[in-house]
Amino acid sequence: MEKKVGAEQIKDGKIRFRVWSPFAEAVQVLLKDQNQLLDLQKDEVGYWETETDKAAPGSLYRIRLDEEDTFPDPASRSQPEGVHSWSQIPISEFNWTDDSWKGRELSEMLIYELHVGTFTSKGSFEAIIEKLDHLEELGINTIELMPIAQFPGSRNWGYDGVYPYAVQDSYGGINGLKTLIDTCHKRGFAVLLDVVYNHLGPEGNYLSQFGPYFTDKYHTPWGSAVNFDDEYSDHVRSFFIQSALMWLEEFHFDGLRLDAVHEIIDRGAKHFLKELSLEVDSLEQKTGKRYILIAESDLNDNRLVTSYKKGGYGLEGQWVDDFHHAVHTVLTGENAGYYKDFGKMEFLAKSFEQGFIYDGIYSVFRKKKVGNSPKGIPSEKFVTCIQNHDQVGNRLLGERLAELVSFEELKLAAGLLLFSPYVPMLFMGEEFGETSRFQYFVSHGDPELVKAVQKGRKREFEYFFHTKGSFPDPQSSETFESSKLNWEFEKEDPKKHIFEFYKEMIRLRKEGNFKAFLEGERKVDFSEENNWLQVTSEDNNGKLKALYNFGKSTIPLKESENDKIELIISSSNKNWGGQEEVNSRSSSVPASSFVIYKIY
Say if residue 525 is in the same domain as residue 576. yes
Separation CA 404–CA 388 (nearest Å): 15
- The answer to whether residues 232 and 121 belong to one domain is yes
Please say whether the beta carbons of 215 and 207 come within 8 A.
no
Based on DSSP, count helices (H) and strands (E) in the chain, helices before strands. Answer: 16, 30
Q: What is the CATH number of the domain that holds 550?
A: 2.60.40.1180
Q: From 38, 55, 88, give the residue that closes a domain.
A: 88
For 59, 461, 550, the CA distances from 391, given in Å and listed in that order, are 42, 12, 21
In a domain, 93, yes or no: no
* Domain assignment of residue 102, yes or no: no
pLDDT of residue 155: 96
* 121 belongs to a structural domain: yes
Residues 204 and 282 in one domain: yes
| β-sheet bridge partners, residue 527 | 532
CATH number of the domain enclosing 39: 2.60.40.10
Domain holding 386, by residue range, is 110-495
Tell me: do 285 and 191 sit in the same domain. yes
Question: Which one-letter amino acid corresponds to residue 551?
Answer: G
Q: pLDDT tens for residues 228-279?
A: 999 999 999 999 999 999 999 999 999 999 999 999 999 999 999 999 999 9
Q: What is the pLDDT of residue 467?
A: 53
Residue 555, in any domain of the structure: yes
- 204 within domain boundaries: yes
Mean pLDDT of 438-449: 93
Per residue, the 3-state secondary structure of 513-576, as one string, reads HHHHHHHCEEEEEEECCCCEEEEEEEECCEEEEEEEECCCCCEECCCCCCCCEEEEEECCEHHH
**Co-location of 54 and 165 in the same domain:** no
Residue 589's pLDDT band (boundaries 50, 70, 90)? Answer: very high
Quick one: angle between helices 407-418 and 493-510, nearest 10?
Answer: 20
Q: Is residue 420 part of a domain?
A: yes
Burial category of 311 from C-beta neighbours within 10 Å (exposed 0-12, middle 13-18, buried 19 and up): exposed
Beta-ladder partners of 534: 525, 547
Residues 80, 226, single domain; the answer is no
> Do 152 and 81 sit in the same domain of this protein?
no
Tell me, yes or no, whether 48 and 195 share the same domain.
Answer: no
**Band (600; pLDDT cuts 50, 70, 90):** confident
Alpha carbons 585 and 580: distance in angstroms, whole number = 13
Report pLDDT for 66: 97
pLDDT, tens only, 491-541:
999 999 999 999 999 999 998 767 777 777 889 999 999 999 999 998 777
Mean pLDDT calculated for residue range 205-217: 97
Residues recognised as catalytic: 259, 296
pLDDT given for residue 464 in this prediction: 56
511 within a domain of the structure (yes/no): no
Tell me how many domains the chain contains: 3
Q: Identify whether 556 is part of a domain.
A: yes
Percent of the chain with pLDDT over 70: 97
Out of 460, 495, 530, a domain closes at 495
| pLDDT tops 90 at residue 456 | no
- 359 lies in the same domain as 264: yes
pTM of the predicted model as reported, rounded to 2 decimal places: 0.97
Name the domain boundary from 56, 88, 120.
88
Report d(CA 320, CA 294) in Å as an integer: 11
Same domain, 49 and 138: no
pLDDT tens digits, 368-418: 999 999 999 999 999 999 999 999 999 989 999 999 999 999 999 999 999
Q: Residue 349 sits in a domain of what CATH number?
A: 3.20.20.80
Tens digits of residue pLDDT in 274-326: 999 999 999 999 999 999 999 999 999 999 999 999 999 999 999 999 999 99
pLDDT of 183 strictly over 80: yes
333 and 447 share a domain? yes
Whether residue 483 sits in one domain with residue 534: no
The confidence score (pLDDT) of residue 566 equals 85
